[in-house]
Amino acid sequence: MSSTASRLPSWFSRAVVEAALIVFAVVLGFIVNEWREDVADRHAAEIAMGRVVAEMESNIGRLEAVASYHEAVVERIQDRLAEIEAEPATGRSVLFDELPLIMPRGINAPGLTSFAWEHAQQHGHLDVLPYETVSETARVYTLQESGVEATWRQIVDLVFSGPQVMREEDITPSLRFTQIGFQELASQERFLIGQYQTVVDELRADGLGSE
């Protein structure tokens, strides 16, 4: 009785081997292509987060500059309130005339930016990074928008809320409200500096951002 192998055409074994090699080559091609895409995505993410680190460090510098000024504004307002308490008659004034004395540089916006982070979310392939890395970065930018920037806008609205700033009146309540606003703003700025620095350190520890 002849074997099954003896009944197969002579070319069959060669065809099986060639077919296997073709399948292997196709699978290997897919693997290599996927690996290249992963490397490219990782590179894009690293570049994007490097820019984010630079942006956060720039924001830290801006915050440090304005936080000291805003803390000084709080002290100037406190000095003015002490003067009014000592001489109540001086408390009747025009708020607009008081502003250059307590805010010689104006309200002084922090001037924070978020362009690098927004660009990273759109084009940085951040899905290749650990979830914690992306979520912590997002959190600190949310603090920037809903904390410091929102409080700054509220102060602008408070100080320049209408024609009453040009009217002579007892300015003690307006000064107190302004002082509270600047106290909150400076506190938020100091807190945000710490949060930014923590995230920057974590990103650098993960190899993101140049030294």
Which pTM value belongs to this model? 0.78
Spans of the chain below 70 pLDDT? 1-13, 15-17, 28-39, 161-163, 210-211
The pLDDT value recorded for residue 162 is 65
The pLDDT tens digits for 67-105 are: 999 999 999 999 999 999 999 988 898 888 888 899 998
The pLDDT value recorded for residue 10 is 67
Taking each helix axis from N to C terminus, what angle separates 150-159 and 172-205, rounded to the nearest 10 degrees? 160
The pLDDT value recorded for residue 167 is 84
The pLDDT value recorded for residue 35 is 57
The pLDDT value recorded for residue 1 is 47
The pLDDT value recorded for residue 106 is 85
